[in-house]
Amino acid sequence: MVDVILGLQWGDEGKGKIVDFFAKDYDVIARFQGGPNAGHTLYVGDKKVVLHQIPSGIFHEDKTNLIGNGVVLDAVTLKRECDSVASFGVDYKKNLYVSERTHLILPTHRALDKASELSKGNDKIGSTLKGIGPAYMDKTGRNGLRVGDLLDKSFTTQYIKLRMKHQRLLDNYGFQEDISAWEEEFFDALEFLRSLKIVNGEYFINEKIGNGQRILAEGAQGSMLDVDFGTFPFVTSSNTVTAGVCSGLGIAPQKIKEVIGITKAYCTRVGSGPFPTELVDETGDFLRNAGNEFGSTTGRPRRCGWIDGVALQFACMINGVTQLVMTKADILDGLSELKVCHGYKINGEEKNFVPFQMNKVDIEPQYKTFEGWKTDITAVKDYNSMPAAMNTYIDYLDNLIKVPVKYISNGPGREQIISV
């Protein structure tokens, strides 16, 4: 049996914390897409950890963690991260597995990402520059190198061939930077990667499903960054939605049961692209400061705005979300008034769908206004003790999105979560 946890907005919904919270109920936690563009934060006691490549179940001693074939893997980041989790006493040699079909991010992918973004000028995507786009392009272009290739003696020859191809592209861009230092640490990290447990991910996971084990698939990025259904071209290069679980782990659709969708109580986006409910005023500044909305991977300030019910309904439809988790509800504690977007006015007409090219139409969000609760909720332990104004806000969202909010997260700590 497989459950999925994924983000419904533009990323950073709090997936790391929520996966870490739910991990106790599962045997295997598996990442199915994305790469080190992800930054998933969780707390081990009072220590903050940000995971980029390793699944967020790694701090549970007896759980298996799998990096699936749908992921693009940066060995350098992985090595650094393994050192970091080991400093907390985690035995990653025992608990971490990597699928042999997982594609590798090469130093030249990072260089190509940078060169491509520079060439776009004002139209840049705002990529994390981790090489994600170029690595997925080599996957679909049938050129990429995979983790399993590391065990083949022709690996270096294959690498040199691909590197030469990349160099020609970099020359075309006029890219001048010397990447030999990146290559040195890359080869060093490949040795490390070879020492990990490399498995045939699809047999590995299906055998466990067959034995009645419980699998939790952990999404990265968010549904509005999906390469097919997000705000293209301002998206990432993978399928971040539930469908990505099937292709990114080798799991059949009927094995998937619960799809747990995470939304913040408001909304953020980092990087370029449309964001209809964005607030470029002091309420936006308040959300950024109170919510510490600065990228976990790049440190960039996140754009902030009201929760977008139209985009959420769309994301729930595409993903088949069965329950919602609302994070960062505590950040709204300081506001006397809250808004929920329930429609988009486009050319004077109210619509309830996400248009083909959000960035090319003028969207006027339609809001319903709510009274804030103006109470510190960070220590609340049960839903009945939540302020009445919050119940009103949650009830409205339940009705609008038509998927129940089952959990409310009221702080970054593992225990700061309330069942509704």
Among the listed residues 3, 20, 40, 52, the single catalytic one is 40
> Could you tell which of ligand IMO, Mg ion, ligand GDP, none binds residue 412, using a CB distance below 5 to 8 A set by kind?
ligand GDP
Q: Which is nearer to ligand IMO, 56 or 64 (CB)?
A: 56
First and final C-alpha spacing in the chain: 24
Which range of residues in 36-44, 85-93, 210-218, 252-260 is near ligand GDP by CB under 6 A? 36-44
Which range of residues in 11-19, 140-148, 163-171, 223-231 is near Mg ion by CB under 5 A? 11-19
**Parallel/antiparallel/unpaired status of strands 2-7 and 256-264:** parallel
Distances (CA, A) of 87 to 49, 76, 84, 90: 11, 17, 5, 7
Q: From the CB of 291, what's the least distance to ligand IMO, in Å? A: 14
> Could you tell which of Mg ion, ligand GDP, ligand IMO, none binds residue 411, using a CB distance below 5 to 8 A set by kind?
ligand GDP
Whether 40 is a known active-site residue: answer: yes
Q: Are 359 and 274 in contact (CB under 8 A)?
A: yes
User: Per rule CB under 6 A, is residue 231 in the interface with ligand GDP?
Assistant: no
In terms of phi and psi (left: phi > 0; alpha: psi -120 to 50; beta: otherwise), the region of 11 is left
User: Per rule CB under 6 A, is residue 33 in the interface with ligand GDP?
Assistant: no
Q: Are 118 and 126 in contact (CB under 8 A)?
A: no
User: Per rule CB under 5 A, is residue 218 in the interface with Mg ion?
Assistant: no
User: Per rule CB under 6 A, is residue 339 in the interface with ligand GDP?
Assistant: no
Burial 187-222 (b: 16+ CB within 10 A, else e): eebbeebeebebbebbebbbebbeeeeebbbbbbbb
Q: What is the residue-wise DSSP string for 153-202?
A: TTHHHHHHHHHHHHHHHHHHHT-----HHHHHHHHHHHHHHHTSEEE-HH
Instruction: Report the residue closest to ligand IMO, judged by CB.
Output: 271
Instruction: Report the residue closest to ligand GDP, judged by CB.
Output: 41
Q: Kindly tell me which residue out of 34, 35, 39, 131 binds ligand GDP, with binding defined by CB under 6 A.
A: 39
User: Per rule CB under 6 A, is residue 248 in the interface with ligand GDP?
Assistant: no
Q: Kindly tell me which residue out of 14, 34, 39, 250 binds Mg ion, with binding defined by CB under 5 A.
A: 39
Give the residue numbers marked as catalytic.
12, 40
Instruction: Name the site residues for ligand GDP (rule: CB under 6 A).
Output: 7, 11-17, 39-41, 296, 327-328, 330-331, 409-412
